Structure 1
């Protein structure tokens, strides 16, 4: 099995309305998002796929989190933040935007983007045998959450 990993870093804020401590207040993290793709074989260029494909598939989606505040849509302040800061506030539908939830959200976007790549949506080819194995979201340099199917 061959594995490749693309890591993208963003400065990302969130607030966890269900948290009993200080995490219920807006705060930020230097997050790293790692996406791991696998294949049993290599392509004609001896790669699982080109790293440029991953950047094309995921760069804009992940960059939306950069200098944004992720908020549970059930939080009483969500509407005020959204009205004040617009698209820099990202709503998470009735869930706290924990690293676990963010990893799952990014995983499903990456999985869908990979299927678009297999259908020829990007400049570089993506073979049918390439699979998304997991997404890991680093919240700090010593703490991460991961999602895989």
Structure 2
């Protein structure tokens, strides 16, 4: 097992959950300034999702790990990101992928009675490049 270290976001919640996953997907950035990235290519993305809260559900979870995986992995693994509706009006950059994963997780968490919060989403596109998306405080409400 490889030990992973992540940028931390300070918070005062009692519980913090981190879910790691990886998925394979292709994309392209259809812009003249994107260089080689304007052509279809693929990545094995590494994703870390941080969820926090003070209350647990009736099973003792902030959220079941498998729910998080099903929301992200099932949606994007072995797909062309440009084909997803959320990327029809914007390019599927690593920044936008991180944001869309946060939106998906946030929308699910809002339906839970104990209201955990997604504090950050890290998307690693290559071994040397990653993006962290952290919502503004007002987005967590």
Query: Which segments of 5 or more consecutive residues in structure 2 lack a partner in the other structure?
Result: 1-12, 136-141
| Counterparts in 2 of 1:58 and 1:115: CA distance versus 1, 3 Å | farther
What RMSD in Å do the two structures reach over aligned CA positions?
2.3
Instruction: Give the whole-Å Cα distance in 2 for the aligned partners of 1:94 and 1:42.
Output: 37
Instruction: Give the whole-Å Cα distance in 1 for the aligned partners of 2:34 and 2:22.
Output: 28
From 13, 17, 36, the equivalent of 1:22 is: 36
Aligned positions, number: 120
Structure-2-length-normalised TM-score: 0.72
Aligned residue number for residue 134 of structure 2: 148
CA contact (8 A) 1:10 1:67 kept: yes
Superposed, 1:1-149 pairs within 5 Å as 1=13, 2-18=15-31, 19-40=33-54, 49=62, 53-71=64-82, 89-91=83-85, 92-116=87-111, 118-119=112-113, 127-128=114-115, 130-149=116-135
Runs in 1 of length 4+ with deviation above 3 angstroms?
A: 40-45
Structure-1-length-normalised TM-score: 0.69
